[in-house]
Amino acid sequence: MTIAPAGRGRTRERGNASDVAGAVILAACAIWSLISAAGHETGPEGVLLALLAVAAGFACGRICGTLLPVATATVAAVGALLMGLLSRHGMPGATATVDTAPGHTGAAAALLVLAAGAACCAAAAARQAPLRFTLRLLAFGTACAALQLRSVAGFAAALGVLLCSLAAARMRQRLLGLAGLALATGLVVGMSWAVAADTLPQGLMVSLEGPLTANRVQLWQDALELAHEHPVLGVGPGRFAELSPTVEQTVRSDGRPHSAPLQQAAEQGVVGVVLLGSAFGWLLYVLWRSPRTTAVVLTAGAALAALAVLASVGNALSFTPVTAGAGLLAGLASARRPIGDGTTGADGARGAGGTAHGPRGRARRARPTDRTPL
């Protein structure tokens, strides 16, 4: 019988703590959706289904990522790519209209971003150079597929994930990278909020209203007005379509404000917005504590941040395959290393096939105290 190294035990404890935090946050999101729906003729089924999809995808990613990380990420990338290409033909749960304007995003763009992220994560975890090149070529092809679907936002987001993945291969400080991704996401959310509140300079408002369209800006303004009228509980999950004047005047509207933070603010109040931000922060925290390499962690973080940006100006999170794919990607990037894997833990200093180094750059040798026979 042997005793595992102390470092591996600490990594396991940190992973357990992040899992507990995630369970608490997801449970709080479910409970609050029930509270905000109380007393209204509506139901929180859509919110609960999205939370279930995230949890199921995360658990599946953790399991499959421990057993076959590269193969699972590759299959996920191909599957998300196919779903993104088929979504315009009415795939159940992922139907979205592919728009020509950069601000019009939906399931297709979100699925293509997740496909690019999964392909880049597989490339970062692969050991053979030809396989890494092939997987990154798949990610580039995914970005080009977004152009074929006339989704400029999807192309820009998928290409950004690929570029971030290439840059992440040279980074060693994952905390700095994740903080930058969180800051960029926060700036986009703040921009959408400022547009809804009409607090930006007139010239900037006019330039943004073009790609966003006047209809989308009016939807955001309706959501913000409902949030001001019901700041704590909101109007209830799924009731935005009933109370928005813009939705009533729009032909073939999907009944959503096309902004996840503003929809949360209108339907579940400020508490819903805080819980949504906490869920995103938890995903980044899980990646920070992940035993995977920094390249894999930052690649997954870039994909999730790109998805959050799309959700801030579109309806990406309204589709079950997208939320399940986000959980799957986070689970893959935070899965425990298989026994005998040659990678390091949270510092990411050791890649596939590399060597770990001590404080003076010399390879550490196993000490007799690492494994003490009993």
Query: Among 63, 111, 72, which residue's Cα sits nearest to residue 55?
Result: 63
Q: Say which residue, 105 or 73, is predicted with more confidence.
A: 73
pLDDT at position 89 is 52
> pLDDT-derived band of residue 82, with 50, 70 and 90 as boundaries?
very high
Q: Averaged over 86-93, what is the pLDDT?
A: 57
Q: Averaged over 128-143, what is the pLDDT?
A: 95
pLDDT at position 95 is 39
Q: Say which residue, 31 or 2, is predicted with more confidence.
A: 31
Q: Say which residue, 366 or 205, is predicted with more confidence.
A: 205
Tokens 């700095």, located at residue? 176
Query: Among 195, 193, 206, 310, which residue's Cα sits nearest to residue 262?
Result: 193
pLDDT at position 309 is 94
User: In degrees, to the nearest 5, what angle opens at C-alpha 135 toward C-alphas 132 and 136?
Assistant: 85
Q: Averaged over 110-133, what is the pLDDT?
A: 95
pLDDT at position 332 is 96
pLDDT digit string, tens, across residues 19-51: 899 999 999 999 999 999 987 777 788 899 999
End-to-end Cα distance, the chain: 6
Q: Averaged over 157-165, what is the pLDDT?
A: 95
- Percent of the chain beyond pLDDT 70? 81
Where do runs of H (alpha helix) occur along the chain? 6-37, 45-67, 69-86, 107-125, 129-148, 152-168, 174-197, 202-212, 214-229, 240-243, 245-249, 260-288, 294-312, 320-333
Burial class of 205 by CB neighbour count within 10 A (0 to 12, 13 to 18, 19+): middle
Query: Among 27, 34, 17, which residue's Cα sits nearest to residue 54?
Result: 27
Q: Averaged over 170-174, what is the pLDDT?
A: 89
> Mean pLDDT across the chain, nearest whole number?
83
Structure-block tokens of residue 236: 């209830």
> pLDDT-derived band of residue 368, with 50, 70 and 90 as boundaries?
very low
Query: Among 108, 109, 161, which residue's Cα sits nearest to residue 136?
Result: 161
Structure-block tokens of residue 163: 């570029």
pLDDT digit string, tens, across residues 235-293: 999 889 888 899 888 877 778 899 999 999 999 999 999 999 999 999 999 999 999 99
> pLDDT-derived band of residue 12, with 50, 70 and 90 as boundaries?
low
Residue 203: is its pLDDT beyond 90?
Answer: no
Residue 363 pairs with which residues in a beta bridge?
357
- Percent of the chain beyond pLDDT 90? 59
Q: Averaged over 124-149, what is the pLDDT?
A: 93
> pLDDT-derived band of residue 353, with 50, 70 and 90 as boundaries?
very low
Q: Is the dihedral of CA 193, 117, 350, 21 positive or negative?
A: positive
